[in-house]
Amino acid sequence: MTTLAIEGLCLAAGARPLVRDVSLGLKRGRVLGLVGASGGGKSLTVLAMLGLLPAGVRQTAGQVRRDGRVLDDAGRAALRGRVAGLVQQSPRACFNPILTIGQHFTETLAAAGLPRRAIAAHAGGLLEEVGFGAPAPLLGAYPFQLSGGMLQRVMVALALARDPDFLLADEPTTDLDLVAQAQILALLERLVAGRGIGILLVTHDLSVVARLADEVAVMQDGRVVEQQGARGLFAAPRHPASRDLLRTHLALYGETLPEDAG
Ligand SMILES: Nc1ncnc2c1ncn2[C@@H]1O[C@H](COP(=O)(O)OP(=O)(O)O)[C@@H](O)[C@H]1O
Ligand SMILES: [Mg+2]
């Protein structure tokens, strides 16, 4: 079984702790939701897994393991794209505005050693997989010619280009309109069912978790304060931070937590 895990991760900026003793495990074919209010340390946790911490943030404890083996810095860097594809929040900020979509695929796939003559066909197949019926014209398009939702699907296709076991999806629907959100969630669902990919799905939105996650970890102020099966979390959230998230979620439907009914 292919697994990817972090154990006891601690991150700090100077003397200020940002992430404290976080452990998370991913398995193929499963979706782990990582939820919590903004500023809780979700994105830094994802970046640490791939050795992509921003300048000024350092790891003070913990490790990343693939199939049980501890990875050093080079091992984490080698996960990128090949073992774990990264999908980030703002698709427009993740594309180079002066490169076409096809050139983005060329950069990713040539770096992976795919012969140039094979790249267009492979890119076309990936774009079909993420829902583009006629991918050929898309390869010549520039990022500004595509909507945010289209770009996000292209980002998923790029993340899949090297056939990774996992996707690390950090707020993949947050900047999208409702139709595009639903398309991305349906796409992620298909990738789990069809490819057996495992997903770390970072979101502050419990609706996203309700739809996709098998297991959920709730983060607050740098700590995982609760982790349990998704059904359990919705039926009986234990930590106040989880109950706050659930309240916000239920309010969208005009509902309240049983404990709040009076
Ligand atoms: N480069 C950085 N330098 C210092 N602090 C940072 C840096 N990046 C993020 N932080 C701080 O780390 C905390 C966690 O951030 P983040 O992981 O982005 O949270 P989340 O993704 O849960 O919203 C926040 O308080 C944020 O201000
Ligand atoms: Mg974040």
12 lines ligand 1 (CB under 6 A): no
Cα of 37 vs centre of ligand 2, distance in Å, is 9
Residues 159-180, mean pLDDT to the nearest whole number:
95
Query: Which among 198, 128, 193 has a CA at the least distance from the CA of 168?
Result: 198
Nearest ligand to the CA atom of 44: 1
Question: What residues flank ion ligand 2 with Cβ within 5 A?
Answer: 42-43
Angle formed at CA 154 by CA 151 and CA 155, multiple of 5 degrees? 90
Q: Is residue 110 assigned to a domain?
A: no
- Look up residue 207 and give its two tokens: 């609706």
64, 49 in Cβ contact below 8 A? yes
CATH of the domain at 180: 3.40.50.300
pLDDT in tens, 206-222: 999 999 999 999 999 99
The predicted pLDDT at position 254 comes to 87
Confidence tier at 252 by pLDDT (50, 70, 90): confident
Nearest CA to ligand 1 atom 1: 54
What's the average model confidence in pLDDT over 224-253?
94
Domain residues for 189?
Answer: 3-96+148-255
139 occurs within a structural domain = no
Q: What is the pLDDT of residues 102-139, one digit of tens each?
A: 999 999 998 888 888 899 999 999 999 999 999 999 99
Residue 244 reports pLDDT greater than 70 = yes
Q: Which ligand 1 atom sits nearest the alpha carbon of residue 47?
A: 17
- The share of the chain scoring above pLDDT 90, in percent, equals 88
% of the chain at pLDDT higher than 70: 100
Atom 26 of ligand 1: nearest residue by CA position: 39
List, for residues 36-51, the tens digit of each pLDDT value: 999 999 999 999 999 9
Average pLDDT taken over every residue of the chain: 95
Question: Is 128 within a domain?
Answer: no
Residue 71 counted as domain residue: yes
User: Cα(44) to centroid of ligand 1, in Å?
Assistant: 6
pLDDT of residue 14: 94
User: With 80 as the cut, is the pLDDT of residue 1 above it?
Assistant: no
Residue 10 lies in a domain: yes
Ligand 1 atom, smallest distance to 56 CA: 3
Read off the pLDDT of each residue in 21-36 and give the average, rounded to a whole number.
97
| Closest atom of ligand 1 to CA, residue 11 | 12
Note whether residue 119 is domain-resident: no
**Residue 153 pLDDT more than 90?**
yes
Return the residue whose CA atom lies nearest to atom 18 of ligand 1.
43
In a domain, 104, yes or no: no
CB 158 within 8 A of CB 105: yes
Ligand 2 centroid–CA 204 distance in Å is 9
Residue 52 falls inside a structural domain: yes
Q: What is the DSSP letter of 201?
A: E
Total domains in the fold of the chain: 1
SS3 218: strand
